[in-house]
Structure 1
Amino acid sequence: MNHPPHPAPRLSTPMSRGWCPVKPPRRPVLLVNPRSGDGAATRNEIVERARERGIETVTLGPGDDLRTRALAVVADGADALGMAGGDGSLADVAAVAAAHGLPFVCIPVGTRNHFALDLGVDRQDVPGALDAFTDGVERLIDVGEVNGRIFLNNVSLGIYGEAVQQASYRDTKVRTLAETARRVLGPGGRMPALRLIDDTGREHAHLAVLLVSNNPYALNGPGLGTRPTLAGGRLGILVLDTPDERQHPPERAWSAHQLEVQAPATVHAGIDGEAVELVAPLEFAVRPAALRVRISARHPGASPAARIPSPRSHRAGAQPSPPTAE
């Protein structure tokens, strides 16, 4: 007797992952960085498509301060904020949205769009991401914080923190990282004097790389380099010691609610891919459920690591080799 084939398993939807349907905002505003992603917003006609949906747009000029513009539209009555830009721009607007309890929409027109990938926005459907305003689902996610500044993805210090400062980093990331590593690790090179204590009580005082992320990254298997969740309430911490530190394995990864990093003075860092200087000591923390995010109801709503679960990818504190900052 022939049996009918088993039906194909249904793909999970955003609603099955904790997303909830919401009513459209009354006065949504989308800020647009036309320079992000080599003009991706213009290529995807984001301003025109947003206006078709009744979304007010604010296009940034070369001299505009993004946070100032975001605060201005909130003061003028916006009840939902979106950002069409790279991860650094997204973090700036998300900080304003979180401070005012407003929903935030990510339109992925940056170079790599790491946050969109982990949030579950379909990066191949940039115009469709605008449906988050009109036919969206919402949930709460965590944000990371360093010395009071919000980050959505990660903060990189050491070799990455130095490399991001270089003007060539945007166009030639791998080469710039390699050149920076040779310069700071080679004879006569000087690494930033960063110090921290890990979860085992061991001191790390010879760091080549320190990556602190808003929730841990998957270490290996399906979804390598993406975060299984943005709502776990933990920082992901990855350290890589310099080659002359040989008493212990050079790489160490764990997760924690907070972290303190000591340094002599100011430190070069990359925050969500943007070059910044931080004043020591560096105080990292996670702010659980601090940001209301909305995505299109037709987008996946989860990162690759969450869509294809792997026991090792959900191990506490698991991390990949450091992802490059955007």
Structure 2
Amino acid sequence: MHRMWRKGPGWIARFDRYLLRRVSGFPGGNHDTFFRRLSASANHGKLWMGAAAVMAAFPGKPRRAAVHGLIAQAVASAVTNVGFKTLLPRTRPLPEHLPVFRFVHPQPTSSSMPSGHSASAIAFAVGAGMVKPSVGLALAPVALGVAYSRVHTGAHWPSDVLFGSAIGAGAALITRKWWPVRPPFPATARSWTSAPELPDGEGLSVVVNTLGGSFTKETAAALQEVFPRAHINTVEAGEDLVDKIRTTAGLPGTRALGVWGGDGTVGTAAAAAVERSLPLLVLPGGTLNHFARDAGTGSLKEAVAAANRGEAALADVGVVSVERGLAGNPETVELLMLNTASIGLYPNLVRRREKLRPALGKPLAGVVAMFRTFTAGTPTTLIVDGVRHKLWIAYVGRGRYFPRDHAPLVRPVLDDGVLDVRMITADESFARLRLLWSVLTGTVATSRITHLREVTGIRVESDGSPMVLAVDGEALAGVRSVEFRVDRHALMYYSPRP
């Protein structure tokens, strides 16, 4: 069979020579230089790496298209150069088959069958186009030009190019399953209700955490300007946040509690609001404030509009019962969970992802952060609802988060009545390799190491050493066990209607 492919089967050889004679009959001109340079630019994938670098400068789909294009190109190149070129050795066209001014020099010495340049070109263009069709259309002429240039310069027979192009398209299709298009997130839904109208902040008491990452001296003044009748209470360094929030919520004439700060501050304020049956106005501020985004008050303008008009909705909250301390003398603490809780390496993953997101975009930042986190991390042994697991991550979200993978970002519904439980286990053999491969291929959600479920309650116990639990970004050490449950429609929050 090898001997047959050195010159090609009869009908393929005749087909190749016929097409090559037609190409050799083209008159010489500037196009010869163009195709020679185009072919050389694609050596070792340089052309596609450059295109990917340009695409990566634009967040969102262009960046994702670049990632998928490079993955497809890498697979096509490996299959072509390591696999088929070894299995199907074939001599390349000879100088007498083309005009000397057109013939590439020096000619490659590897097998002619199939064309690696064509495989990489088609793989990158088709792979990128599957994520963003307009990019694929723009790349198509370049990819086809590279494929044709291999025949025009005598580097390959036409059938080599066709076979290589088919390999490239196949690589794009196969890797597309690795990085599936994320389905559209569900539409935002609210359980609307009425809350006190707060014109100019009348009846509003606001707590401002000055330790929030984005706090400046102008923050409190700006809030007082948009809410001139509100009571603005700042929490300074050294003051007790919980006590200050409770004091603010209990001020005479308070009809609504406002909060400016990160997730931990907002969670504490939510607990006070639930305790006193007050509606909560979450203002954008702090290092991370996920609830403001989910509530639709991601900007001060939106928050002011909802407060002035009394537009509000109901949200579920998570109730977290934590047992800490020595086994013979435990201490039980009950917390309110507004967003998420986690055990294991998840907090490290989130910190890395948020740091990388401005430069890489959300999807790619999640991949890089996960690689860095799990390459060096170690799993934790826990007992979940009576079953012992080795876990990289135990994550509990108050409500369904999307996408359904290792990097949940958006929560369209705040009162769906469930806990979103995600566990990435190390129970299986070759656990670390399985994990890193699923991250690379974008199949974390479907991997055997990932366990996704929705529940109304869950219990997690340490197996020996106490664990560290993070609730809404605030860490608790020395935890022996923790139980989660849902309290339906416990919180009223301001949210602007469409």
Pairwise same-fold verdict (TM > 0.5): yes
Whole-angstrom CA distance in 2 between matches of 1:265 and 1:132: 47
What's the counterpart of residue 244 of structure 2?
69
Equivalent pair of 1:50/1:57 in contact (CA under 8 Å): no
Equivalent pair of 2:207/2:259 in contact (CA under 8 Å): yes
Change (3 A) 1:74 1:44: closer
1:178 shift after superposition: 5.8
Q: Which has the higher contact order (CA 8 A, sep 6+)?
A: 1
Within 5 Å, give how 1:185-264 maps onto structure 2. Answer: 185=378, 191-197=379-385, 203-219=387-403, 225-242=409-426, 244-245=428-429, 249-263=448-462, 264=464
RMSD: 3.4
Equivalent pair of 1:106/1:295 in contact (CA under 8 Å): no
Percent identity between the two aligned chains: 25
Whole-angstrom CA distance in 1 between matches of 2:274 and 2:410: 23
Which residue identity does 2:412 align to in structure 1? Answer: P
What's the counterpart of residue 283 of structure 1?
483
Change (3 A) 1:176 1:65: farther
Whole-angstrom CA distance in 1 between matches of 2:419 and 2:217: 31
2:319 is the alignment partner of 1:145: yes
1:245 shift after superposition: 4.8
Whole-angstrom CA distance in 2 between matches of 1:195 and 1:87: 27
SS where residue 380 of structure 2 aligns? coil
Which residue identity does 2:391 align to in structure 1? Answer: L
What's the counterpart of residue 466 of structure 2?
266
Whole-angstrom CA distance in 2 between matches of 1:169 and 1:269: 19
Q: Deviations over 1:19-57 (max 9, x none)?
A: 2343325521011123323326836953332442x1110
1:64 shift after superposition: 1.6
Equivalent pair of 2:224/2:232 in contact (CA under 8 Å): no
What's the counterpart of residue 160 of structure 1?
346
Equivalent pair of 1:40/1:109 in contact (CA under 8 Å): no
Whole-angstrom CA distance in 2 between matches of 1:152 and 1:245: 36
Whole-angstrom CA distance in 1 between matches of 2:430 and 2:388: 12
Which residue identity does 2:417 align to in structure 1? Answer: G
Equivalent pair of 1:24/1:135 in contact (CA under 8 Å): yes
Whole-angstrom CA distance in 2 between matches of 1:20 and 1:115: 18
SS where residue 277 of structure 1 aligns? strand
1:265 shift after superposition: 4.8
Whole-angstrom CA distance in 1 between matches of 2:216 and 2:425: 38
Whole-angstrom CA distance in 2 between matches of 1:243 and 1:87: 32
Change (3 A) 1:295 1:69: same
Q: Deviations over 1:79-121 (max 9, x none)?
A: 2111011111100000011011111110011234221222222
1:233 shift after superposition: 1.0
Structure of greater Rg: 2
2:210 is the alignment partner of 1:22: no
Whole-angstrom CA distance in 2 between matches of 1:86 and 1:79: 22
What is the TM-score normalised by the length of structure 1?
0.71
Whole-angstrom CA distance in 2 between matches of 1:137 and 1:292: 10
Gaps of 5+ in 2: 1-186, 322-333, 358-364, 432-446
What is the TM-score normalised by the length of structure 2?
0.48
What's the counterpart of residue 286 of structure 2?
110
Whole-angstrom CA distance in 2 between matches of 1:169 and 1:61: 29
Q: Greater share of helix residues, 1 or 2?
A: 2
Q: Deviations over 1:195-251 (max 9, x none)?
A: 214xxx9x3511100110101212359xx7312311111111000012745698100
2:243 is the alignment partner of 1:59: no
1:177 shift after superposition: 6.8
Which residue identity does 2:374 align to in structure 1? Answer: A
* Number of aligned positions between the proteins: 270
Gaps of 5+ in 1: 1-12, 186-190, 301-326
1:258 shift after superposition: 0.3
Which residue identity does 2:482 align to in structure 1? Answer: L
Q: Deviations over 1:170-214 (max 9, x none)?
A: 8689788766534432xxxxx4321214xxx9x351110011010
Which residue identity does 2:237 align to in structure 1? Answer: P
Change (3 A) 1:88 1:170: farther
Which residue identity does 1:194 align to in structure 2? Answer: L
Whole-angstrom CA distance in 1 between matches of 2:281 and 2:251: 18
1:126 shift after superposition: 2.1
Which residue identity does 2:218 align to in structure 1? Answer: T
SS where residue 193 of structure 1 aligns? strand
Structure 1 segments of 4 or more deviating over 6 A? 168-177
Which residue identity does 2:394 align to in structure 1? Answer: L
Which residue identity does 2:473 align to in structure 1? Answer: G
Which residue identity does 2:381 align to in structure 1? Answer: A
SS where residue 109 of structure 1 aligns? coil
